[in-house]
Structure 1
Amino acid sequence: MKPKHIAQIFLLSAAWGISFLMIRIAATVFPPVWVGMLRSGSGAVLLLVLLAIRGNRLPPRKMLPWLLAVALFNNAIPFSFFAWGEQTVPSNTAAVLNATVPIWTMLLGMAVHRTRMGIATVLGVLIGFAGVSLVVYSRASDPAQNQGSLVLGIVVILLATLGYAIATTIAKAKLQGLDPVGLASSQLALAACMLVPVAALTRHPSHFALQPLLAILVLGFIGSGLAFYLYFNLLAHIPATHVVAVTYLLPVWGIFWGLVAHEQIAPMAYAGVLVVIAGLVLMNTSLRKPSPKQEPSPAVCKVVEP
């Protein structure tokens, strides 16, 4: 793998990793649906400009039903649910919870294709969930934490990660061969359109502040627009099994940005992150190698941002 591709993986993981903190900051002013709408909309603007400059193509109209489904589960729901969950869950914990995406994706893929998991894969799944549980327990043991709010936030974020997995499974089955920039642009634009009427009919921001506005711009332009471009550029030049390194780095970046924001992190959380990464590595290395005519397994190739 060339140094520039390693640098792009590092940059991509940092862009996605900081998204968890930006979501928490944006959610201090903007209701969850507004965070999802503004993030999708700003990301779509950047990618549509890039699409026009580079001459990329939008997906054909006949794919609209599948595009709507992917936009719903890959953007509209997760973007809003992460903002909802992070009202009570710290950004570093949300980053670790996001590591369940490849686990859900693998389980859904195996259910759809009716394939069996090997012993190593089962162990990888169990180890991954054990690591997530350690991080969650480290937070739940804080006596200052409202347990009911924490549990609700965790459930909401896990539903968001399940949405990512559903979208990945649909995209692998129905949206193969499409222009990647066009696909990403259409997803974000459709998600923004879905959320506009919901945002209009629900709670509006009570005031505006510079920091949350900047967080929204970072989420849209960097966490969605730039990150999508880097991700698909990497997939075009290196194997998807190498791009999976991004998934391993996200919990680490989540902890790092949480420290920058002075979030409290228990020592057990560090151990949990290492356990999560070990489970993901075991899952990835235990998967069967695809034949030359097959796409790499979507099990751990995360094609969505946090």
Structure 2
Amino acid sequence: MVILNYLLVCFIFGTTFLAVKIGVDASAPPFLSAGLRFFIAGVILLGWMLLRKKANLSLLLRKELMITGFCLTFGTFSTLYWGEQFVASGNAAVLSATGPMMILLIQLFVMRQKPSPRSLIGCVIGLLGVVLLILPSLTMAWSVWILLGSIAIIMGELFYSSGALYSKKANKYFRDVSPIALNAVQMTYGGLMLLILSACTESWNIHSFQSAGAISSLLYLIVVGSMIGHSLFYWLVSRTTPVFASTWLYISPMIALAIGVLFYDEKITWLTVIGAITIIAGTILVNWGDLKLLLSAKKRAETIEPVSYST
């Protein structure tokens, strides 16, 4: 069951980037699309957790969840949706894998924590991969917008990394609360902020969501991307470790690249492939310490007793 759910998480997260791309290409306003996605998913998940008595409405009054909603949902996805107007979905997925490198940079320059030499090398390799990934776009039409879209997606990862570091400290106040309930509240807050941003910057027109592409994109992202994907992710965290669950970062970008090429006629070059592999390699090096602990823990468990996964 664990392996099956893990593969589902990798596949789902790998497909969401193309779903976002289909929506914005269908002229759905990016901030409005993102806001509807997360606000609706958050409200439904929170309602479900309330019915199961695994959450209470007082969570909506916690500033910690408002801050994580601002970083993890609002900041991350406002930039992703805007950037995907100009950037191919596969490239957007690979650029989103720079999150661990952004965490390292924040720890180095803001928190004054000294990383290991291996992590620093991984960060440099990953940033080199970003350059290789963006380089082909500079010879294409609309290169300025592709470059700005890529920068926006990377900036979104700074929001995500800040939120991840903050939530790690804030979660100590919510030890007895289901992670799914916490995620539902932060998605609700983030979605509401995105809707406010949309109201201030975009024209709300019902005709924007009348196309099959816009409607199918929104429904897929609400149900499969946010509700099922994130719930499976937190189920994996509870059954394994956060490090293991987060290794989707190494697999999903490659799935997104392949899906974009096969089903959406996105163009890919050898330089793009090399850049993608370089970014993933850098991400693995940055997280090598945690991955090594994960592998050693697995080996210890196997020497004590056989590992069995039951449904």
The equivalent of 1:210 in structure 2 is 212
What is the rounded CA distance, in whole Å, between the counterparts of 1:18 and 1:12 in structure 2?
A: 10
One-letter amino acid matched to 2:213: Q
Does 1:120 pair with 2:122? no
For 2:216, give the aligned amino acid: L
**Residue range with higher mean Cα deviation, 226-235 or 169-178:** 169-178
Q: After superposition, where does 1:1-306 map in structure 2 within 5 Å?
A: 4-28=1-25, 29-58=27-56, 60-61=58-59, 64-111=62-109, 113-141=111-139, 143=140, 145-176=141-172, 177=175, 178-201=177-200, 202-205=202-205, 206-207=207-208, 208-259=210-261, 260-286=263-289
| 2:222 maps to amino acid | G
Matched residues in 2 for 1:50 and 1:77: separation? 26
Hey, what's the Cα distance between the residues in 1 that align with 2:57 and 2:138?
45
The unaligned stretches of length 5 or more in structure 1 are 291-306
The range that moved more, 205-214 or 219-228, is: 205-214
1:265–1:63 distance in 2 versus 1, CA, 3 Å? same
How many angstroms does 1:49 deviate by?
4.2
Structure 1 residues 62 and 225: alpha-carbon distance in aligned structure 2, compared to 1, 3 A threshold: closer
Shift of 1:53: 4.8
Alignment deviations for residues 150-207 of structure 1 (CA, whole Å, 9 cap, x no partner): 1211121111111111111110111232420110110111122223333334322453
Change (3 A) 1:272 1:53: same
* Cα distance in structure 1, aligned partners of 2:108 and 2:41: 32
- Which deviates more from structure 2 when the two are superposed, residues 187-196 or residues 45-54? 45-54
Once residues 66 and 101 of structure 1 are traced to their aligned partners in structure 2, the CA distance between those partners, rounded to angstroms, is 21
CA contact (8 A) 1:58 1:179 kept: no
Distance 1:45 1:82 in 2: 22
Q: Larger radius of gyration, structure 1 or 2? A: 2
Q: Secondary structure at the match of 2:97?
A: helix
Q: Cα offset for 1:77? A: 2.5
> SS at 1:184's partner residue?
helix
Across the two proteins, how many residue pairs are aligned to each other? Answer: 285
- AA aligned to 1:183 is L
Which of the two has greater helix per residue? 2
Rounded to whole Å, the distance in 1 between the matches of 2:70 and 2:287 is: 27
DSSP-derived class of the 2:287 partner: helix
Q: Deviations over 1:35-59 (max 9, x none)?
A: 1211112321441243145432147
Normalising by structure 2, we get a TM-score of 0.84
Q: Which runs of 5+ in 2 are unaligned?
A: 294-311
Q: Is the 8 A contact 2:23 2:217 kept in 1?
A: yes
Cα 1:88–1:191 change in 2 (3 A) is: same
TM-score, normalising length: structure 1: 0.86
Identity of aligned residues (%): 24
Cα distance in structure 2, aligned partners of 1:116 and 1:60: 38
| Cα distance in structure 2, aligned partners of 1:10 and 1:200 | 37
Check 1:32–1:218 CA distance in 2 against 1; reply closer, same or farther (3 A cut). Answer: same
